[in-house]
Amino acid sequence: MSYVPPHKRHDRNLTPTPVPSSLNPKPFSSPRHRHHHHHQASSIPSSKIVYSPRSICRWYSTSSDSEALALVPYDSELIERKYGSKPLTLTVADEAGLGKEEERAVLRGIVEKVAKNLIEISQYALEEKEKEKEKEREEREDVKLLLVARVGKVLFNGDSSVCLDSIKKASMSEDEGWNKLISKTFYTDVSEEYITEVEELLVGKFGFKFEAAKEHYHVKIFDKRQPDSTISCKCTASHDGNIKLYKIELKQLRYMVTDISCVSKNFDLRIMLTTKKKLKNLDADVANGIDQLISAAVTDSDVKGGLRWPLGKESVADRFVIVGVWHTKYKALSRDKMRVKMRLADRFDYRTSTGEAANEVSFKLSGMPEQLTEDNFREGRVIDMIQGAVDMIWDNFLTLGSTCI
């Protein structure tokens, strides 16, 4: 379909669109119509996304002409409320002057940079992984390297003229310092129409096969004795309405995040390398604290995140406290070394007392970590694998639907 400039796209509000029946036979109710959890945000410790000390974070634009770039307002009540101003999205001032082949050449150059950054940082991540395994051998922690591409929208925050000036300088410079001056967020919420078209293309054109469809509750727990990490408990719901612990993980550690503003497309792209640590054996006090919090949870479709706790049961021993809860339903399709997950995530953050429901699509490149861990890995092969995946997404999945929500 033809490109639709962001300022001409349909406005969307916070009310989530229904997900296809294959993903969500019983849609969540809108966050606008749910009552608040009684937990007080002021009593919740602050938390943030965790990055490696040597993480590589970059932003790129697929336009070769920085002077042609322009910022236009993007309607997102959630982002506007969070930052206090309307977010901005990148476009080109003159769409007619944007050559497809030229933009494709710019994209290929970006992918080469991403691949080289990935090779560099993955070696460091693997070294850290081995240190962790040695240090935490008694806990028998399982650490995995994950490479994921996400579809969404790069949204910029702040004064448009100042922001645009920083964007132009960053687009012309390899200096990471200019990237750090850009205030942005990656918004992953997409429409029901997009989800439907993605699934149809994956199955019909590319031969992806159904892998799994699951529903989970994710309970985020803060341990005051481990202030630098958040414990994530993945749970399943039983027939009696209670939830059962399925798996315990520590918050993902980000090693590389690359955001690409795809100016001729409806959507942008994020490529991210993270590690995920699964906890197998726990200290008795930690295990007991988690067990008390999970066993006290009550499923409730009328609250954000789908879970609530009786008064006084949302913390244990003045040490463990609930900081967030997600209710997710997802469908996964796979082929060769790629796994695509289409997910509805209904989230509530106790730190900010805010919630949202979002449709999200991610492409997991499951074969890449194997390439990076081989002793005789070839740089050219890594570049080719990433280029192939990005080309597939670029050609087929960035112009579907009308827009992000």
Instruction: Report the CATH number that the domain containing residue 173 is assigned in CATH.
Output: 3.20.100
Location of structure tokens 């070394």: 337
Residue 10 lies in a domain: no
Q: What mean pLDDT comes out for the span 319-326?
A: 95
Q: 371 near 382, Cβ under 8 Å? A: yes
φ/ψ of residue 64, rounded to 5: -85, -10
Rounded (to 5) percent helix, strand, coil in the chain: 30, 35, 35
Q: Is the pLDDT of residue 157 over 90?
A: no
Q: 233-237, 341-345, 348-352 — which is least confidently predicted?
A: 348-352
| pLDDT for position 259 | 95
Other beta carbons less than 10 A from residue 227's beta carbon: 11
Buried b (16+ CB within 10 A) or exposed e, 278-316: ebeeeeeebeebbeebbebbebbeebbbbbbbeeeebbb
Residue ranges in 139-283 assigned as alpha helix (H): 160-172, 176-180, 192-204
- In-domain check, residue 63: yes
The number of domains in the chain is 1
Q: What pLDDT is attached to residue 95?
A: 64
401 pLDDT band, cuts 50/70/90, is: low
289 and 223 Cβ atoms separated by less than 8 Å: yes
Rounded CA-CA distance 273/372 in Å is 12
Going by C-beta distance under 8 Å and a sequence separation of 6 or more, which residues neighbour residue 196?
Answer: 20
Residue 192 has pLDDT above 60, yes or no: yes
Question: Which structural domain, as residue segments, surrounds residue 326?
Answer: 31-396
pLDDT tens, position by position, 287-314: 999 999 999 999 999 999 999 999 989 9
For residue 250, name the pLDDT band (cuts at 50, 70, 90): confident
Asked whether residue 179 is assigned to any structural domain, the reply reads: yes
What is the arithmetic mean of pLDDT over 181-200? Answer: 91
Q: Judge whether 311 lies within some domain.
A: yes
Q: Is residue 333 part of a domain?
A: yes
Examine the pLDDT at 35 and tell me if it is beyond 90: no
Does residue 376 surpass a pLDDT of 60? no
Q: Which comes out higher in pLDDT, residue 10 or 317? A: 317
Q: Counting every residue, how long is the chain? A: 405
Is 389 among the domain residues? yes
pLDDT digits (tens, 9 = 90+) for 140-152: 567 788 999 999 9
Q: Are 162 and 181 in contact (CB under 8 A)?
A: no
**Phi-psi category of 140—alpha, beta or left, where left has phi over 0 and alpha has psi -120 to 50?**
left
Residue 6 lies in a domain: no
pLDDT for 133: 66
Contact 16, 357 (CB under 8 A): yes
Q: Give the DSSP letter string of 315-364.
A: EETTTEEEEEEEEEEEEEEEETTEEEEEEEEEEEETTTTEEEEEEEEEEE
Look at residue 20 and tell me if it is in a domain. no
- Report percent pLDDT > 90 for the chain: 47
